[in-house]
Chains A and B, each alone.
Chain A
Amino acid sequence: MKLSLTKVVNGCRLGKIKNLGKTEDRTMDIPGCLLYTKTGSAPHLTHQMLQNIHGLPAMVQLTLSSLAEHHEVLAEYKEGVGKFIGMPESLLYCSLHDPVSHCPAGYVTNKSVSVWGIGGRVEMTVSKFMAIQQALQPDWFQCLSDGGASCEEATSMKRARKSVDRSLLFLDNCLRLQEESEVLQKSVIIGVIEGGDVMEERLRSARETAKRPVGGFLLDGFQGNPTTLDTRLHLLSSVTAELPEDKPRLVSGVSRPDEVLKCIERGVDLFESFFPYQVTERGCALTFSFDYQPNPEETLLQQNGTQEEIKCVDQIKKIKTTDCNQEMTSFEINLKEKKYQEDFNPLVRGCSCYCCKNHTRAYIHHLLVTNELLAGVLLMMHNFEHYFGFFHSIREALKSDRLAQLKELIHRQIP
């Protein structure tokens, strides 16, 4: 696996990761995102529907929390989780937790970490964890780590230190077990940077983890709402400054467009794509513009549309969202609103996704009002495609030195 940087602009890294996968011939662009899945499948989408989406990421994110309870089945299957879930050709990254439902906190000991599946808590020691990875055979996997320091309200120095110590211990043990496993020779361990909000511990975690032969780094503990990310941005910069340039940096729990840009500016390469899923679950569609060099007419139309939508945001924020404990953002529209009942436009004019090519806002509105399953299917397809389009525009903007324009466009859409 080799990471080549094309350029670095204001801290943003543009490049490619080559020689990926078991066949060592796959490539991934950075900055980029990973396809979010639940129990090995994109949410709501059968393989057929997933293939309709343009710009699908090369790498899929699986979560141990959804797969650990199927350990025995996968071990008996023997051929790896990729084939089991019907994605034998995809690059696979296995994270510990599901970024959407990562709770409750706690349940980390000196010897074990717990994940939460449908059937309840699954406790994993290093050996159990590695046994599960042997059954999964992913291309990359997040090392067993202690993320407890960031779940709590106020990180104590003691807790932060423990999170780093434990994670390093787990890492060394996992690396040792990997050496002894033939099956895991082609899998890459991603080291996890912990340390809560304590700068000293963060730096220690970064430096120590970087000494180990990991394939990349996961920056854990930066999840939360936009305010909490802002308070941690300086930590983020300091951490990435300690990391080698030629290994990828992932961040967990950060998926909103504005937050993505902030992290890219601070040296992060890869993101999870759960934000489009959260938008889908609240019956919303992503409509934010990432077209930083549109023609003048288009700009005017977009601005008019955006202004109208921003006006409604205050009202919209009062709508309770049932499924994701997240408030609606200004990057989206709420299709349940009565005003879409007779709107025969596509979700986003010019969008080439299956939903926008075939259906109208009025139809989606109807599906949501009548609680029909198809609403989730169509919205997921649109939201993923829109989101992947955003990442494409980031890369294009970096290529042509226009990231400032893209950033300004995104921030113009936040009230």
Chain B
Amino acid sequence: MAAAASPASLDSAPRIMRLVAECSRSRARAGELRLPHGPVATPVFMPVGTQATMKGITAEQLDALGCRICLGNTYHLGLRPGPELIQKAHGLHGFMNWPHNLLTDSGGFQMVSLVSLSEVTEEGVRFRSPYDGDETLLSPEKSVQIQNALGSDIIMQLDDVVSSTVTGPRVEEAMYRSIRWLDRCIAAHRRPDKQNLFAIIQGGLDADLRATCLEEMTKRDVPGFAIGGLSGGESKAQFWKMVALSTSQLPKDKPRYLMGVGYATDLVVCVALGCDMFDCVFPTRTARFGSALVPTGNLQLKKKLFEKDFSPIDPECTCPTCQKHSRAFLHALLHSDNTAALHHLTVHNIAYQLQLMSAMRASIVEKRFPEFVRNFMGTMYGDPTLCPTWATEALASVGITLD
């Protein structure tokens, strides 16, 4: 798959991304986003705080870990507590007292995840509330209206999302509809100076559909692009090809946000493929199941083998959990009913993700990214050559070899 030259962006679109360095081999970039609530270094991992909270950790803890942007979810917040209340609370920032940046998803993904409760038409998505049975129509206009009330720094278009395992005409329908919905979102957006509306490239696993979507959407005047419709049940082999296709057609001077990706290996490969922003519930969710992320994979701390392990989760990690506590203590606490155990792991897992992105960025800036990738894979898989096939192929496609 030869990398095509990226199309020139429209002159009038706001440039929120500044490129600081580019890898001379792969498509990896280091940059800085200029957002209303402060700068954000890229590549960046954005933890997901769905309902105006990062689960059990406070805004202060999140800030102390170096997080400068996190996610909220329009679907959930639109239902509870609702946009009117949040507006009264001075937006989502005011409501949850988060001083840095927020990105809100449009509610589109819930169409897939809550598919039994939803129905898609050209108008929008009709949802039946799981809480009170009420029906709501989430249209592109309504989604933007809610996000305008939330006041997030980056808002997402409402897209017609189909699961990546779906094939046939529905995928094409969803792709074209997403373009029409993008235009409706752009038209409805009341605060383009304060909130950056991103488009979301769809097209499923079909290269032609995706290419069409890319061609059309990049004609629109938006500050950034997300690559959507992936990170579902598709094979990794198909996944990376769609990511690579997307980054090859997206403008270089605008951020590329790959939605729903958060496993360490996936992050490293997709940075190599040219993505700048990522979000995923995985690190925070797996923490609440007692799993701690480490450079060699993860530690299931509830298991008996950690009962008498008096070392920290990761001796190299600088997070408060690793500074203060041993695996043995966390093991004991995880077997109690004290929720503090979950919070210790949430702190560590977010720290792990952020430290990974930071290390990647430094290696790009210092022109040693391919070496970083080799070391990473070596640590994760025992030997760089034991890296999964799809990752090896994806990396090779952008000039990084692992032996």
Q: Is A70 an interface residue (CB 8 A)?
A: yes
Min distance, Cβ B259 to any Cβ of chain A, angstroms:
23
Q: Is B337 an interface residue (CB 8 A)?
A: yes
Residues of B within 8 A of A359 (CB): 97
Q: Is B396 an interface residue (CB 8 A)?
A: no
Q: Is the CB of A49 within 8 A of B61?
A: yes
- Of B80, B324, B329, B340, most buried by chain A (CB within 10 Å of CB) is B340
Q: Is the CB of B339 within 8 A of A376?
A: yes
Q: Is B326 an interface residue (CB 8 A)?
A: yes
Q: Is B89 an interface residue (CB 8 A)?
A: yes
Q: Is the CB of B60 within 8 A of A354?
A: yes
Whether A77 contacts B52 in the complex (CB less than 8 A), given A49-B61, A342-B88, comes out as: no
Which stretch from A36-44, A183-191, A292-300 is at the chain B interface? A36-44
Residue of A nearest to B52 (CB): A366
Residue of B nearest to A362 (CB): B89
Alpha-carbon separation in the docked complex, A114 to B100 (Å): 51
Q: Which residue in A42, A84, A358 is a CB contact (below 8 Å) of B60?
A: A358
Q: Is B56 an interface residue (CB 8 A)?
A: yes
From 44 to 66 in chain A, residues with beta carbon under 8 angstroms from any chain B beta carbon are: 44-49, 52, 66
Q: Is the CB of B56 within 8 A of A374?
A: yes
Whether A44 contacts B89 in the complex (CB less than 8 A), given A39-B332, A49-B58, comes out as: no
Which stretch from B5-13, B20-28, B39-47, B342-350 is at the chain A interface? B342-350
Q: Is the CB of A370 within 8 A of B80?
A: yes
Q: Is the CB of B58 within 8 A of A73?
A: no
Residues of B within 8 A of A42 (CB): 340
Alpha-carbon separation in the docked complex, A94 to B320 (Å): 26
Residue of A nearest to B334 (CB): A39
Residues of B within 8 A of A404 (CB): none
Q: Is the CB of B57 within 8 A of A374?
A: yes
Q: Is the CB of A44 within 8 A of B88?
A: no
Min distance, Cβ A70 to any Cβ of chain B, angstroms:
5
Q: Is A106 an interface residue (CB 8 A)?
A: no
Q: Is B325 an interface residue (CB 8 A)?
A: yes
Alpha-carbon separation in the docked complex, A341 to B80 (Å): 10
Min distance, Cβ A336 to any Cβ of chain B, angstroms:
13
Residues of B within 8 A of A124 (CB): none
Residues of A within 8 A of B76 (CB): 370
Looking at chain B, what size class is its interface with the partner chain?
35 or more
Question: Would you give the 0/1 interface string for B49-80, flagging 1 where the beta carbon is closer than 8 Å to chain A?
Answer: 00111111111110010000000000010001
Q: Is the CB of B308 within 8 A of A73?
A: yes
Q: Is A105 an interface residue (CB 8 A)?
A: no
Min distance, Cβ A413 to any Cβ of chain B, angstroms:
30
Q: Is the CB of B85 within 8 A of A377?
A: no
Q: Is the CB of B320 within 8 A of A48?
A: yes
Residues of B within 8 A of A312 (CB): none
Q: Is the CB of B337 within 8 A of A358?
A: no
Q: Is the CB of A76 within 8 A of B308?
A: yes
Question: Would you give the 0/1 interface string for B88-131, flagging 1 where the beta carbon is closer than 8 Å to chain A?
Answer: 11000001110000000000000000000000000000000000
Min distance, Cβ A87 to any Cβ of chain B, angstroms:
9
- Of B52, B326, B335, B343, most buried by chain A (CB within 10 Å of CB) is B343
Q: Which residue in A39, A40, A119, A374 is a CB contact (below 8 Å) of B58?
A: A374
From 337 to 388 in chain B, residues with beta carbon under 8 angstroms from any chain A beta carbon are: 337-344, 347
Whether A70 contacts B58 in the complex (CB less than 8 A), given A47-B320, A366-B80, comes out as: no
Alpha-carbon separation in the docked complex, A38 to B333 (Å): 9
Question: Would you give the 0/1 interface string for A218-233, flagging 1 where the beta carbon is closer than 8 Å to chain B?
Answer: 0000000000000000
Q: Is A154 an interface residue (CB 8 A)?
A: no
Alpha-carbon separation in the docked complex, A119 to B335 (Å): 9
Q: Is the CB of A369 within 8 A of B337?
A: no
Name A residues whose Cβ lies closer than 8 Å to a Cβ of B. Answer: 38-49, 52, 66, 70, 72-73, 76-77, 84-86, 118-119, 341-342, 344, 354, 358-360, 362-363, 366-367, 369-370, 372-374, 376-378
15 extra interchain contacts, Cβ-Cβ under 8 A, other than A39-B336, A49-B58? A38-B337, A41-B338, A44-B338, A44-B339, A47-B324, A48-B64, A48-B347, A77-B308, A86-B325, A86-B329, A118-B336, A366-B80, A370-B76, A372-B55, A376-B56
Pick the 3 closest A-B CB pairs, nearest first.
Answer: A39-B336, A373-B56, A38-B338
7 residue pairs from A and B, CB less than 8 Å apart: A39-B332, A43-B339, A46-B320, A362-B95, A372-B55, A376-B56, A377-B343
